[in-house]
């Protein structure tokens, strides 16, 4: 598309305004959070992006060390440039696609478990690869072989399959609707990630800042909700 969603991401957060309280005891500040079994110093995680080796020789291994040093964790992409076994540095999660070869999906997820992953993040918003132009067009790995392409027939059953195969909590990434969030949780997800794939998948999709309240209201505190897209500073967080 015209990258309209991409351009709206940062603006959507910047339009919110804060309502600070006064005369509250803030002499001790704690930003730590307990998230799916990991104690983190910050509620800011490093989301999954492909091929870190393009910008640093050690790739995802270096990113994981940086995240761990900040008291956070890295979500390692299926399209990582390093072997999963090279990545661990503190807690980390594994991002999975539902590929046409379903057994390959499950085998890769099991391998992530063996390498130390503590959760699976299932990308649910790429049944087909969106048309990408300009800044969002980047072919990192060349054409995928048919078995590793995303499976457009994948449904909610993929959540339970990953849970059964790995024994880990599974979060679904790419949720923009409250009813979708509830459906994912009812199908076995441990949480959801409100995301529009950085504006790289479906143009004119809702900005995540605007989608978040609907998802929060629908989930009602029953599971963790994460959000990405356009977050650039502590004020956004």
76 membership: H or E segment, kind and range: strand 74-76
Closest CA to 113 of 130, 136, 96: 96
Half-sphere exposure (Cβ direction) of 202: Cα atoms closer than 13 Å:
15
Distance separating alpha carbons of residues 83 and 71, to the nearest angstrom: 23
Q: Which residues contact 12 (CB under 8 A, 6 or more apart)?
A: 207, 208, 209, 210, 230
Among 52, 133, 197, 210, the active-site one is 197
- For residue 152, CA distances in Å to 33, 51, 128, 146 come to 35, 24, 6, 12
Phi, psi dihedrals of residue 40, rounded to the nearest 5°: -115, 145
List the end-to-end C-alpha distance of the chain, in Å, as a whole number: 28
Q: How many CB atoms lie within 10 A of CB 205?
A: 21
- Whether 210 sits among the annotated catalytic residues: the reply is no
Phi, psi dihedrals of residue 71, rounded to the nearest 5°: 75, 25
Q: How many CB atoms lie within 10 A of CB 151?
A: 16
Query: What is the set of active-site residues?
Result: 197
């Amino acid at each position: 598309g015209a990258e309209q969603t991409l351009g709206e991401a940062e603006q959507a957060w910047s339009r919110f305004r804060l309502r600070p309280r006064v005369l509250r005891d803030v002499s001790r500040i704690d930003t730590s959070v307990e998230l799916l079994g990991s104690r983190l110093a910050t509620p800011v995680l490093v989301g999954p992006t492909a091929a870190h080796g393009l910008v640093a020789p050690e790739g995802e291994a270096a990113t994981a060390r940086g995240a761990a040093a900040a008291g956070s964790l890295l979500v390692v992409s299926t399209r990582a440039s390093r072997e999963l076994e090279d990545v661990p540095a503190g807690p980390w999660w594994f991002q999975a696609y539902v590929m046409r070869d379903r057994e390959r999906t499950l085998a890769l997820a099991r391998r992530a478990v063996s390498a130390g992953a503590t959760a699976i993040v299932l990308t649910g918003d790429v049944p087909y690869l969106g048309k990408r132009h300009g800044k969002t067009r980047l072919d990192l790995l060349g054409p995928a072989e048919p078995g590793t392409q995303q499976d457009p027939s994948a449904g909610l059953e993929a959540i339970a399959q990953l849970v059964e195969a790995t024994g880990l909590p599974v979060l679904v990434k790419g949720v923009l609707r409250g009813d979708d969030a509830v459906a994912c949780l009812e199908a076995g997800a441990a949480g959801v990630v409100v995301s529009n794939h950085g504006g790289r998948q479906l143009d004119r999709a809702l900005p995540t800042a605007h989608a978040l309240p609907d998802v929060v209201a629908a989930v009602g505190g029953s599971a963790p909700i994460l959000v990405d897209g356009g977050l650039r500073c502590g004020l956004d967080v």
